[in-house]
Amino acid sequence: MRNCIFLLLVAGVMLLFGCHGKTVVLSASSALSQIKIEVDKDSARLVKLGWDTESTGRDSINLLRNPAALQLMKDGKVLNPDIHLKFASDTTVEYRFTLAGKSLFWKIGIGSDISFQFTGDINTEVDKLIFVLPLNPRKTVTSVISSNWLEDQKFHLPIVLSAPDIGQMLVTGSDNRRTIGFTEGNRKEALLQMSVEIPVPNNNNISYLTFTPLILPAPNGYSDLDKWKLVRRGWFNFLQQSCGASGGGKEVVGVWSNNALSDPVSNTIYMLADAVLLMPEIAPDVSIAKILKKSVEYFIDNKTTDYGLVGYTAGGIPATIDDKGDPDPLDKEYNPGHHQTVMDANPSLIIGAWAYVKTSSDTAWLNKRLKDLALIADYMEQRDIDNDGLIESRQSGNSDTRPPRNPDMAFDAYSSGHKNAYVNILSYRAYKCMADLYKTLGNATMEKKYQMLSVNLKAAFLKTFYNQETGWLGWWKSRDGELHDIHSDIPTSLAVSYGLIDVQSGKEMLTRYWDELRKTEFNRFDLGVPICIKPVQKKDMEHYTDFKMFLNGGCAVSNASYTIDALNMVGMSAQADTILNAMINRQATGVYPNGGAFQNGFVDNYPLGAEVYDWDGNTAGYEGHLVYCWTFIHSLIFKETTFQRLRTGF
């Protein structure tokens, strides 16, 4: 059979129709998006599916691992209909499915969107139509973004189907609430699949699915629209929801996670809270605020002990109340997954709950959950074991104390513990959030209590963590009294961002840090900044790597947001822009074959993942896609004073 190609310009959309042996290719392009589909003539399967919401040519990337197909089912069994290509034109292909003399017609149309239309009178022979999309996470972790989750871990439309660094589609149906879908996967095999149950048509109705390119508008009040255009597609990379393939199983389906095949973790939910403050809804009936609520509720209901400690990971178990924090190295029964004693999970969850209430005004939910939040906050308060205002972790933080993996915070390669600056910075914000929640409910007594806890913490903070030798903050003070300064700006930067350090003091500290950073001759600001600028001593790391790798001085991408935010807040905008502009330019142009700048698909193999880099730009991570990498896009918005007040203006 001859190959044939036709071009047609319709309403500003360039359409390409081609016959290639056993397949038909449809593609459409406009100034806003590009779409490409290749279908098999004989089997009615989508062999290739691609799109690009910025018209940069990435529609040629096939998002499918295997062909997508329409399954006709009856009583739980997949049927085997006769399939014939009815016709193909420059915009449409249509197939006829025949069973017992009854016909179903599947029309695939392409233009400014993708339309899948289903007509016919086949409901006596078929009780389910399921459109199955086997995705290819090795290429890019295409994730369902939904706030419409049902009790059986399924969702109803609309959803956003997000292909990182390629583009997003708003998926709607003829009857959104009756159009049900589900995700499933296997982390070990890197399998990820979305299926949609389509209402079976009859003579009286037509069923359809529509995939409409989604271009995200800038947050209300944000002024730099030229910069926004460079990052708006990548902004979605921060949003990934678990398909239940890793820790937590099916119970975590729909919970915000490191990526769709990876783990949900509790102690980074405050980052999702910031995203919600900036943009609570990304499409009609697709609410990030509800995703935040679902994630907070999961950890409250499933990973919080009866004494108030929140567990670290969905697959782990928070420690018992009498767990000392530092395990006995001779204890052969010790299981890190069953002895989780992180101290940043509690404040992170409170910050998440506050952001949900702040953006949704859902005081009914707050009243329902206030007892849970108070339990979590009470545990934090009780961990001020010496009554100095600071929270103490169970781990001692002493050097060479923890050969097993037993972190007290999300930066889990360090042997941190006791008085941890990072933990206390988040706790300061959480106390302020609790005060604001009680203010919302008109409870002045409890509002005052948490305000005083924040005041007491602030009074003790600087004198505990300030390092006279370096002129900035150390990270933790261990039980033996040693201040552990790993030459990272993170404690200083985050403290400045949350108003725990005044602007003048913060500027002095960050000026010293910047001067020391420049002395290292580090110049790959497109990667962010190193997490620390000198090697961390082996005695201060549980998981040791060479310097400039992973958390021993690697560029973890996400840590750059702390630096950028703080530099802007103290008036060092030139330095902040040096980092931010380089990262934005990398994001806009991409580095990897999938268009990724800070992700190379699902890797799950250290050091091949592109969420951490050494100083030369070589990969030094393991996930491949880690949602926190795109917090620097939030920093682009938080650069403006109006938006800074969203998280500090209690």
Residue 148 is given by DSSP the state -
For residue 31, pLDDT over 90 is answered with no
Do 71 and 80 contact (CB within 8 A), yes or no? Answer: no
| Cα angle: 28, vertex 30, 33; to 5 degrees | 80
- Alpha-carbon distance of 232 to 248, in angstroms, equals 31
Find out whether 110 and 48 touch, Cβ atoms under 8 Å. Answer: no
Using a pLDDT cut of 90, give the percent of the chain over it.
Answer: 90
pLDDT at 15 over 50: no
Residue 9 clears pLDDT 70, i.e. is over it: no
Q: Under DSSP, is residue 228 helix (H, G, I), strand (E, B) or coil?
A: helix
- The 10s digit of each residue's pLDDT in 199-221 is 999 888 999 999 999 999 999 99
Spatial contact of 411 and 422, defined as CB atoms under 8 Å apart: yes
Token code pair at residue 160 = 């956003």
**Which string of b and e fits 39-70 if b means at least 16 CB within 10 Å?**
bbbeebbbbbbbbbbbebebbebebbbebbbb
CB atoms within 10 A of CB 509: 25
Contact 348, 267 (CB under 8 A): yes
**Cα 490 from Cα 112, distance rounded (Å):** 45
- Residue spans of alpha helices (H) in 478-556: 490-497, 503-519
**Pairing of β 114-120 and β 102-110:** antiparallel
Cα 538 to chain centroid, rounded: 31
Rounded-to-integer distance, Cα 378 and Cα 407, Å: 21
**Strand order of the sheet with strand 82-88?**
82-88, 92-99, 102-110, 114-120, 207-213, 167-173, 159-163, 143-145
> Could you write out the three-class secondary structure of 201-214?
CECCECEEEEEEEC
Is the pLDDT reported for residue 13 higher than 50? no
Is 1's pLDDT higher than 80? Answer: no
Residue 649 scores a pLDDT above 90: no
Ranking 255-264, 324-333, 463-472 by mean pLDDT, the lowest is 324-333
Choice among 89-98, 288-297, 373-382, 425-434 with the minimum mean pLDDT: 89-98
List, for residues 412-433, the tens digit of each pLDDT value.
999 999 999 999 999 999 999 9
Question: Residue 337 — very low, low, confident or very high, per pLDDT cuts 50/70/90?
Answer: confident
Tokens of 282: 């990304």
Check if the beta carbon of residue 205 is closer than 8 Å to that of residue 271: no
pLDDT digits (tens, 9 = 90+) for 56-70: 999 999 999 999 999
pLDDT at residue number 17: 43
Helix axes 560-569, 631-638, angle to 10 degrees: 10
Six-digit token pair at 183? 């995700």
Encode pLDDT of 544-591 as tens digits: 999 999 999 999 999 999 999 999 999 999 999 999 999 999 999 999
What pLDDT shows up at residue 204?
A: 84
Q: Tell me the pLDDT of the chain averaged across its residues.
A: 94
- For 83-89, the CB contacts below 8 A with 24+ separation are 83/42, 83/43, 83/44, 85/24, 85/41, 85/42, 85/44, 88/17, 88/19, 88/24, 88/41, 89/17
Whether pTM exceeds 0.85: yes
**How far apart are alpha carbons 194 and 632 in whole angstroms?**
29
Whether pLDDT at 234 is above 70: yes
Task: Tally DSSP H helices, then E strands, for the chain.
Answer: 13, 28
Residue type present at position 166: I
Residue 330 has pLDDT above 80, yes or no: no
Q: What angle do the packed helices 490-497 and 560-569 form, to 10 degrees? A: 50
- Is the model's pLDDT at 607 over the cut of 70? yes
Residue 5: predicted pLDDT:
33
Segment 436-445 long-range contacts (CB within 8 Å, at least 24 positions apart): 436/354, 436/358, 436/650, 437/353, 437/354, 437/357, 437/366, 437/370, 437/373, 440/357, 440/363, 440/366, 441/363, 441/366, 441/367, 441/370
Question: How far apart (Å, rounded) are the C-alpha atoms in residues 148 and 68?
Answer: 24
**Which has the closest alpha carbon to 552: 474, 615, 492, 604?**
615
| Rg (alpha carbons) of the chain, rounded to whole number | 26
Confidence of residue 327 (pLDDT cuts 50, 70, 90): confident
Average pLDDT over residues 509-527: 98
The whole-angstrom separation of Cα 413 and Cα 475 is 13
| pLDDT value, residue 21 | 63
- What pLDDT is recorded for position 329? 75
For 21: left if phi > 0, alpha if psi spans -120 to 50, otherwise beta; the answer is: left
3-state secondary structure of 295: helix
Average pLDDT score over residue span 252-259: 98
Backbone angles phi, psi at 642, to 5 degrees: -55, -40
Q: What percent of the chain has pLDDT over 70?
A: 96
The pLDDT of residue 334 is: 83
305 phi and psi angles, rounded to 5 deg: -75, 170
Q: How far is CA 270 from CA 167, 348, 403, 599, in A?
A: 25, 5, 29, 22
pLDDT in tens, 78-128: 999 999 999 888 789 999 999 999 999 999 999 999 999 999 999 999 999
Whose tokens are 């420059």? That residue is 90
Work out the pLDDT band at 20, boundaries 50, 70, 90. Answer: low
* Domains defined for the chain, CATH in brackets: 4-213 (2.70.98), 225-648 (1.50.10.10)
Residue 115: how many CA atoms within 13 Å on its side-chain side? 15
> What angle in degrees, to the nearest 10, is found between the helix axes of 641-648 and 269-278?
130
